[in-house]
């Protein structure tokens, strides 16, 4: 197998991407040089909260808390002006989500995760890929998902110091598995980089930002938003539950899609790894993380439900975006996918 650079290594830090509207057009050069004026809070709030401009700007601001950018000073992570802009974008995003997501209790929200559409109808991307997906579509899917999976489990780690007792112990147990059980080669972000390598994709952190539509940024931004705010710890636990409950069956389907298309052993392994592990994680999250949190803080039940439902809402929007393009025979990417190698597989 080709040697794969460690995801997120400083030498692989991404460049700032081109802007997609007036907010990001002011933000990108400011991050690079400090020149010009940042958008005002009112300008940020006027942007479509689900649109390309607002979601890209929010993604760039959140990335300052992860690996950063090659041309951006690390000290800007806590710059007050950037935090103020981020807060305006966050408030607009949260307001839209709360208006669009139905209210329910955590048990009802959890049960809804276990109900999936039949066949490959609706927005089930994993069902579509399992039954009909072609290798080029698997490559697109991996490239877009890399915006999260090359930092897999990192946003959820922020909630650990905000939990206690049973909830904290359960969360740490699941995160320990996500980070390879102490083995660097088994860290899930590393396994995903190996998957990308099998598919002939670039494995550098943030490489495919230019390819991603707003619907991808929204799914990634949600977990950063929930993780960075202690007040939203219940919603972050709900988000984590949604990820773990849906991961095992979706991973089984995606592993089958990889095998059917001859994607390669590392591509298969990533999803095989998640089938059994995430089935176990689901029980730990339900019993210990959610159960422990709500025993200690029962008032967070609506937030847990919101985290579950907001995750499903944004994933459905992303699924509709991807499947709408693929069913028409079109790429779902904003920019052409350039392969690192030229695999013989079509």
What integer is the mean pLDDT of 217-226? 98
Alpha helices per DSSP H over 179-300:
188-198, 214-228, 233-260, 265-284, 291-296
Domain with CATH 1.20.910.10 in the chain: 105-327
pTM above 0.85, yes or no: yes
Each residue's pLDDT tens digit, 161-192: 999 999 999 999 999 999 999 999 999 999 99
Torsions phi, psi for 97 (to 5 deg): -65, -45
Counting Cβ atoms within 10 Å, is residue 320 exposed (0-12), middle (13-18) or buried (19+)? middle
Alpha helices per DSSP H over the chain:
22-33, 41-46, 52-63, 80-100, 106-113, 125-131, 135-149, 154-157, 165-178, 188-198, 214-228, 233-260, 265-284, 291-296, 301-327
CATH architecture of 105-327: Up-down Bundle (1.20)
Of 137, 163, 145, the residue nearest 326 (C-alpha): 137
Flag the least confident range among 5-19, 54-68, 186-200, 304-318. 5-19
Each residue's pLDDT tens digit, 274-286: 887 767 788 899 8
DSSP E strands in the chain: the ranges are none
Mean pLDDT (the chain) is 90
């Amino acid at each position: 197998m080709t040697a794969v650079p460690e995801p997120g290594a400083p030498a692989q830090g991404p460049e700032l991407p081109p802007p997609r509207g007036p907010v990001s057009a002011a933000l990108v050069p400011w991050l690079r040089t400090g020149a010009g004026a940042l958008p005002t809070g009112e300008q940020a709030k006027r942007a479509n909260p689900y649109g390309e401009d607002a979601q890209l700007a929010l993604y760039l601001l959140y990335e300052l808390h992860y690996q950063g950018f090659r041309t951006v000073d690390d000290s800007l992570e806590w710059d007050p002006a950037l935090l103020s802009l981020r807060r305006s974008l966050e408030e607009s995003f949260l307001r839209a989500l709360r208006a669009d997501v139905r209210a329910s209790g955590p048990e009802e929200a959890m049960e809804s995760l276990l109900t999936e559409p039949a066949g490959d109808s609706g927005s089930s991307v994993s069902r579509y890929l399992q039954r009909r997906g072609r290798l080029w579509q698997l490559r697109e899917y991996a490239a877009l998902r890399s915006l999260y999976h090359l930092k897999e489990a990192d946003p959820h780690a922020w909630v650990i110091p905000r939990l206690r007792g049973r909830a904290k112990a359960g969360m740490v147990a699941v995160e320990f598995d996500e980070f390879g059980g102490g083995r660097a080669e088994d860290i899930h972000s590393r396994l995903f980089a190996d998957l990308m390598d099998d598919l002939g994709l670039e494995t550098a952190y943030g490489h495919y930002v230019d390819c991603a539509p707003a619907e991808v940024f929204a799914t990634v931004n949600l977990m950063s938003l929930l993780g960075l705010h202690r007040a939203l710890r219940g919603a972050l636990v709900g988000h984590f539950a949604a990820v773990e409950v849906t991961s095992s069956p979706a991973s089984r389907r995606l592993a089958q899609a990889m095998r059917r298309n001859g994607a390669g052993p590392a591509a298969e392994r990533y999803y095989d790894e998640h089938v059994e592990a995430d089935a176990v994680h689901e029980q730990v999250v339900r019993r210990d993380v959610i159960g422990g949190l709500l025993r200690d803080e029962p008032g967070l039940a609506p937030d847990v439900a919101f985290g579950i439902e907001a995750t499903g809402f944004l994933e459905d929007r992303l699924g509709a975006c991807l499947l709408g393009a693929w069913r028409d025979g079109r790429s779902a990417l904003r920019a052409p996918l350039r392969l690192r190698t030229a695999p013989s597989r079509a």
